[in-house]
A and B are shown apart, each in its own frame.
Chain A
Amino acid sequence: MKNYTIFSFIFVMWILIIIGGGLLIILTSIVSIDGYVTIGSLELYYASIVKAIIAIILVIIWIYVLTKIKNWMFHKKIRN
């Protein structure tokens, strides 16, 4: 029985999780909001909102990439 494609897809998902996690941490760690708001806690609050938006966008991109890879890898199998 040949199910190498499914094993390969799991491996690709694993790599995408590691790369995606790395991108998430790198991109959100460079976000800081200084000088726009006088109260310190509000700056942290706004920074959190920006980080959350970045995280959500990255997750959407991650799902999009995964869908493209899935369609490419399983195209023949699904058509069958």
Chain B
Amino acid sequence: MFDQVIPAILVSIVAFFSVYVITPFLIRTLKKRNLVVKDYHREGGAMVPRPGGPSILIGIIASEFTLYAFFPTTAIITILVTTSLAFVVGIIDDRKVLGGWFKPLALAICAIPIIFLGAYDSNLAFPLFGSFKIPELYLALIILIIPITGNTINSIDVLNGAASGFMTIASFALTISLFIMQHYEIAIASLPLGFVSLAFYKYHKFPSRIFPGDSGALTLGAMYGVIAILGHVEIVAAIALLPAVINSFLFLSSVQRIVEHRQIKNPTAVTPDFKLMATTDKDAPVTLLRLILAAGPMTEKQIVSVILKLALFSASLAIITAFMMEIKI
């Protein structure tokens, strides 16, 4: 295990500092090209550059290639291919607003390299009870996991710092779980996800200097999904994502169809003192944000703080689940 410590430290440094250094250049470039969007929740409606996906992808590629120099494995190639394809889907969606079905279908196609490269184990491991073994069904699950994780992270990207902060917590919980379950190589390969998210959070937190856009959110979500598959920690990964899963679950059960979020009514409204409050519109969907705001109007910073507390809670449950994976009854 000690021969893996140096690569682990090195990939973490490369992941963090590549995003930390590149993002300010990306912010300037996007501003020059007028690729900015209005932040409706902020006083004065500041124009914020978007998308931040390119710096996230560069951080992931640089760190995973560094790791590949130490451990030339199919798993790293699979992470790179799937994540890059998800970035392409995201950047298309950033440039052109497409239908609600485009992202799930395109992300399902992004999952195909995982099957062709054969970098998976077809057993679905559950805590306490062992594994569920149906290889044919697992193939279908692979095709489903990437669209679910990608869209789930994308759906929580509604406030300054929510997606990157949430992803930082969830991905470090996943890395700790992988170490607990002694899947060391995948654990190290997952480190860049946490450090890239952390470095991006520095620019994405309130007041945001850049938004990740679909390219950023889908890249992070797809990488999270592929690591869950390669590390055989699908259930642990789902538990760490529970607040975002609840958001998607609430949204889908109130809208009752797959639809692009831009096409539905906003579940929140802005008060004159720039706090957010739950809308009184009965046709607006129920989301995690709307439930949080049921307690009363809150500032954007306060809401993100609640979301990150929920992320920490589910991350703790995910780590407990990882310990439970080692126990069989």
Q: Which residues of A contact B (CB under 8 A)?
A: 1-3, 5-7, 9-11, 13-14, 17-18, 21-22, 24-26, 28, 48, 51-52, 55, 66-67, 70, 74, 77-78, 80
Instruction: Determine whether the beta carbon of A55 is less than 8 Å from that of B137.
Output: yes
- A10 close to B134 (CB less than 8 A): no
CB neighbours of B253 from chain A (8 A): 67, 70
The contact size tier of chain B is 35 or more
Q: In the complex, are the beta carbons of A7 and B310 less than 8 A apart?
A: yes
* B239 and A17 contact, CB distance less than 8 A: yes
Q: In the complex, given contacts A9-B246, A25-B130, A51-B137, what are 5 additional A-B residue pairs having Cβ atoms less than 8 angstroms apart?
A: A6-B246, A6-B291, A21-B129, A21-B132, A78-B291
Tell me the complex Cα distance, A55–B141, Å: 12
Chain B residues with Cβ below 8 Å from A21 are 126-129, 132, 235
Known contacts A10-B246, A10-B314, A17-B238: A77-B291 contact under CB 8 Å: yes
Q: What are 16 of the A-B contact pairs (CB < 8 Å)?
A: A1-B302, A3-B291, A5-B291, A6-B291, A7-B313, A10-B310, A13-B242, A13-B245, A22-B126, A22-B128, A48-B134, A51-B134, A52-B134, A52-B136, A70-B249, A80-B278
Question: What are the residues of chain B within 8 A of A67 when measuring CB–CB?
Answer: 253
Contact B317 A10 (CB under 8 A): yes
Contact yes or no, A6 B288, CB < 8 A = yes
The residue in chain A whose Cβ has the minimal distance to the Cβ of B126 is A21
Q: Provide the residues of chain B in CB contact with A13, threshold 8 Å.
A: 242, 245-246
Asked whether, in the complex, the Cβ of A28 is within 8 Å of the Cβ of B314, the reply is no
Tell me, in angstroms, the Cα distance from A55 to B138 when the chains sit together. 11
Contact B242 A2 (CB under 8 A): no
